[in-house]
Amino acid sequence: MDALTADYLHKVIAERLEANLVQVQDMSGGCGLAFAVIIVSPIFQGKNKLMRHRLVNNALKQEMNSIHAFTQKVFTPEEWELQKVNYEN
């Protein structure tokens, strides 16, 4: 697999996790080795943080083999409404 891009990850996360909102930041300077993501999806409802992270990691299993650093913040739509002010620029 070639180096991953933020746009590619955005697309697959949105599709595979039925996400309402996806923000992907390439932290590696464009080489596709480190990403920070925010994911808002109703599939996280009723799941703790560990279960949510496992869902993301499983959904991106193939891509994770090419990523060296991956930071994720995951929210339900309701949680995001309460938290989004902390993440807006």
15: left (phi over 0), alpha (psi -120 to 50) or beta: alpha
Report which DSSP code applies to 4: P
**pLDDT tens, the chain, 89 aa long:** 556 899 999 999 999 999 999 999 999 887 878 999 999 999 999 999 999 999 999 999 999 998 999 999 999 999 999 988 888 75
Taken in order of first residue, the domains within the chain and their CATH numbers are: 6-86 (3.30.300.90)
Q: For the whole prediction, is pTM greater than 0.75?
A: yes
Nearest Cα to Cα of residue 39 among 82, 79, 3, 8: 79
